Amino acid sequence: MQIALPTGREIGVFDSGVGGFTVLRELQALLPTARLRYLADTAYAPYGGRSPDEIRARSFAITEHLIACGAEMIVVACNTATAHAIEALRARWPALPFVGTEPGIKPAVAATRIGRIGLLATPATAASERLRALIARHIGDRQVVVQGCAGVVDHIEAGDLDSPALRTLVQRHCEPLLAAGVDTALLGCTHYPLIEPLWQAALGIEVKLLRIETAVARRALDLWISSAESPSLEIETSGDPDVLRHWIVRVLGWREPQVQQWRSSVRASGR
């Protein structure tokens, strides 16, 4: 495993791939002087179709690397990794602050007018015990329709944000929410805001869409003790740096991003 020497206090941020960039943008806005290191585990994306054990193994390996680079806080910018790994991460590093990313069930309960809520998530998040506990804690007498959206992240990782095939897939995943008559829908994966117009078009303008990235960044702001160090951003990937660089330029519009490759000795099984 490639280990970088610590260069100063950093906030480490990771996701299965590119979805966590939606959280990273909010962190940059709220913490403009912070040193940020983002790791996209694109070689193993998406996490949504992997087992809980695989997700935890990848999360542990990534966290070890980020700490070795100087991270003094970890933002798990991935709903699936949060659902299956964050408690194990906190148990392994109890002195390190971790900020997770979870569907905003409580804000959705406050936002719904008719008591019917939809949740669009990866299959792994949709099946997680942590999500079931979160819903049980906050849902009360409201109805929540949880839809596992297989295949959507694959399109986004490939840079496909508006093809007919993706539109058809989004429409199919939204059908159970439409059948239930929801008036509020949660985007339960950090990838999903990157295609927010497609979700809105499929659900209709009368359905309110909620996302969670700003709340995640605000929680990091609450926990982070700022320093006098100069701000910086390091981007790493377990996949091909050129592919991720091209994605960043084309989708996010960032100019000339520097992307480094990171290799871990921890492997996940093929599918």
Would residue 189 show up in a list of annotated catalytic residues for this protein? yes
From 69, 149, 174, 189, active-site residue: 189
What's the chain's Rg over C-alpha atoms? Answer: 18
Annotated binding site for substrate: 15-16, 47-48, 79-80, 190-191
Separation of alpha carbons 20 and 241, rounded Å: 16
From 69, 78, 149, 174, active-site residue: 78
Residues 11/27, Cβ–Cβ less than 8 Å: yes
Would residue 174 show up in a list of annotated catalytic residues for this protein? no
Separation of alpha carbons 253 and 81, rounded Å: 27
Q: How many CB atoms lie within 10 A of CB 223?
A: 13
Range list of β-strands (E), the chain: 10-15, 35-40, 71-76, 98-99, 116-121, 143-148, 184-188, 208-210, 232-237, 259-261
Annotated binding site: 15-16, 47-48, 79-80, 190-191
Q: Which residues are catalytic?
A: 78, 189
